Chains A and B, each alone.
Chain A
Amino acid sequence: MKKSIYEFMNFFPFLKEVIKRDFKKKYYKSVLGVAWSMLSPLLMMIVITIVFSTLFKRSIPHYPAYWFSGNMLFSFIFEGSSAAMGCIILNASLIHKMKIPNYFFCISSVTQHFLTMVLSILPFFLVCVVIGVPMNPYMLLLPLPLIMAYLFTLGLGMLLCAYGTFLRDLNYLYHVLRRIWLYITPIFYPIDIIPEQFRFLWDLNPVYVYINIFRELTLNARLPSEKMLIVGTCYTILMLALGAVTFKEKEDRFFLYI
């Protein structure tokens, strides 16, 4: 345990360097650079609002912000975990040459997507101001759902990475799953359209739990229900533990497959 912590601290500067590099390379030579992290969800939001707002106008107040918050967390969870799934294969050459603990690649890919999401909170607030969502003190608790989603995604990413490194088809399968998940998560539609008797199933969707906590704090200006918080915390802890344990068990065999 002590050694693990020591190892983590030892390579922590590496994590920072790598995230910095990836950020730099992501927007290399683009004129607007990092601004794209904020601009692209905004543009997408405009399109989605035009398409769906007439459909759901009555049941969802502040539709643009509603969609934006859902999409922000959903994209992060899936893109972050998907990046983590492929991180060992992507960094194969480095793993063959350097003594870097494998899980650092997972952390760096998830963190990079996390920072992109955190950046898009700025345009979220901009949207809130423009469409007249009142600011409220509960917004100060926003780090809570974000950190929960971060740790959940890290766990999910490590779990996927542990298997995806051996079976690369998982990546394609995961993208199909993502599409399905997008439709069963209330991102662009309200939860009300789900019949009452099935709604408990929707409440069990971990992605929706985090989105819901986020929306409660911002759009509904109230504390999320205790049940929601407990379920969210459980998902986070379980997924992180499951991911870490599986990853640890499989990582010795990674280098035979990359």
Chain B
Amino acid sequence: MSEKQDAAGFTPVAAVESPQKTTAYASEPTPAVPIILPSDTPKGDIVVDAKDVSVMFNLSRNREDGVKEYFINLIKGQLHFDEFWALRNISFQVRKGESVALIGRNGSGKSTMLKTIAGIIRPTRGSVRVKGNIAPLIEITGGFDRSLSARENIFLVGTMHGHTKKYIRSRFDEIIDFAELERFVDVPLKNYSSGMVSRLGFAIATCVDADIVIADEVLSVGDAHFRTKCEQRITQLLSGGTTLLFVSHNALQVKKLCKKAIWLEKGKVMGIGPSAKICELYAESLKTMPVKTVKKPAAKRTGGQ
């Protein structure tokens, strides 16, 4: 692997330079100039540095995966698929101890951005550099194997996050305690309620000493009691100088937890600045957006005869 740590101690998540540099954007409307407002950022080190990040997905709209198609495309010189740019030229920096919210409508690229920072998705272009270890609270129930018990899953998912067995063993009781699953430790997860599974996922993801917490709507997990506990846990994590990156549709929560917000729309940055101000702008944009009411189909009963 040619990736090296640079002088600042960054570990690049990815720095993929794609050869086709100017394609695919042609049909796109010119991006609106993002609103960048000054926010009172702490003067710490930069821990997340996203530079010109673009991520492309394959929509795979019923395309044929067959040999014929494959070879035809191979001869044509390119394996074509429906390109979809989930993120386009996103750049921002997050400093140590900051808490930043990503807001925007469904499908605006918030989760993709978080996954890119967490290193799950490699940017198609551009680079994301992250300093410190991450507690990814993204798809917290994703790694579970439903046929295994909570005990086995804690070790399975814990190792997926890159922890050693010894480390997980030392946190085991804490996890079970936090998830309130003492009675069900050896019950397979398929017999759990969905709330219980989410609680376990949250407990595993937050049991670490992380420098950066990446949370994707996880604070809406479980019942009111557990939500409070989660928020407390997050606040507790943040108090020790941890950086938070956070996706939420709950404006109140955003204003409470985050000082800074990034507003995404269709994969582009619309604004960066103090969370209160950005939330306001975002809310306004939602208001001005025309809401199509679904019309009832006109009663067309000709009766046939």
Q: List residues of A whose CB falls within 8 A of some B CB.
A: 1, 3-4, 7, 10-11, 13-14, 16-18, 21, 24-25, 28, 93-94, 96-100, 166-169, 252, 255-257
Interface size on B, residues (CB 8 A): 39
- Bound-state CA distance A18–B158 (Å) is 12
- A-contacting residues, B6-22, CB 8 Å: 11, 16
Complex Cα gap A51–B121 (Å): 54
Give Cα distance in the complex from A169 to B71, angstroms. 12
Is B121's CB under 8 angstroms from A167's CB? no
> B145 contacts which chain A residues (CB < 8 A)?
21, 25
Tell me what chain B mostly uses at the interface: helix, strand, loop, or mixed: loop
**Dominant SS at the A interface?**
helix
- Distance of B234 from chain A, by nearest CB (Å): 20
- A44–B152 Cα distance when bound, in Å, is 34
Instruction: Report if B284 contacts A (CB, 8 A).
Output: no
Assess whether A252 is in contact with B16, with CB atoms less than 8 Å apart.
yes
Known: A167-B67, A167-B70, A255-B121. A100 touches B56 (CB 8 A): no
Residues of B within 8 A of A7 (CB): 1
Given the known A-B contacts A10-B162, A14-B160, are A256 and B142 also in contact in the complex, defined by CB atoms under 8 Å?
Answer: no
B11 contacts across to A, CB distance below 8 A: 3
Query: Residue B159 contacts which of A3, A17, A25, A166 (CB distance < 8 angstroms)?
Result: A17
- Chain B residues close to A by CB (< 8 Å): 1, 3-5, 11, 16, 56-58, 60, 65-67, 70, 79, 81, 118-122, 136, 138-139, 142-143, 145, 147-148, 152, 155-156, 159-165
Contact across chains for B67 and A4 when beta carbons are under 8 A apart = no
A-B residue pairs in contact (CB < 8 Å), sample of 8: A4-B1, A7-B1, A96-B139, A97-B143, A166-B79, A167-B65, A252-B122, A256-B57
Question: Smallest distance from the beta carbon of A107 to chain B beta carbons, Å?
Answer: 14
- Do A99 and B159 touch across chains, with their CB atoms under 8 A apart? no
Determine whether the beta carbon of B142 is less than 8 Å from that of A98: yes
Nearest residue, chain A, Cβ from B141: A97
The residue of chain B having its C-beta at the shortest distance from the C-beta of A255 within the complex is B121
Known: A13-B159, A21-B152, A257-B58. 4 other contacts (CB 8 A): A1-B1, A252-B122, A255-B121, A256-B58
- Assembly CA distance A4 to B163 (angstroms): 16
Shortest Cβ distance from B148 into A: residue: A21
> Is A169's CB under 8 angstroms from B66's CB?
yes
Asked if residues B156 and A18 are in contact (CB atoms below 8 Å), the reply is yes
- A99, B67: Cβ atoms under 8 Å? no
Set of chain B residues within 8 Å of A99, measured between Cβ atoms: 118-120, 136, 162
B69 and chain A: residue at smallest CB distance: A167
Q: Please state if A97 and B164 are interface contacts (CB–CB under 8 Å).
A: no
In the bound complex, do residue B156 and residue A168 qualify as a contact, i.e. CB atoms below 8 Å apart?
Answer: no
- Cβ distance A85 to chain B, nearest Cβ, rounded Å: 15
**Using Cβ atoms and an 8 Å threshold, which residues of chain B touch A256?**
56-58, 81
Chain B residues within 8 Å of A24, by CB: 148
Q: Is the CB of B56 within 8 A of A97?
A: no
In the complex the two chains form, what is the Cα distance from A7 to B5 in whole Å? 14
Which residues on B sit within 8 Å (CB–CB) of A255?
A: 121-122
Are the C-beta atoms of B122 and A14 separated by less than 8 Å? no
A257 to B82, CA, bound (A): 11
CA distance A13 to B159 in the complex (A): 6
Contacts of A167 in B (CB 8 A): 65, 67, 70
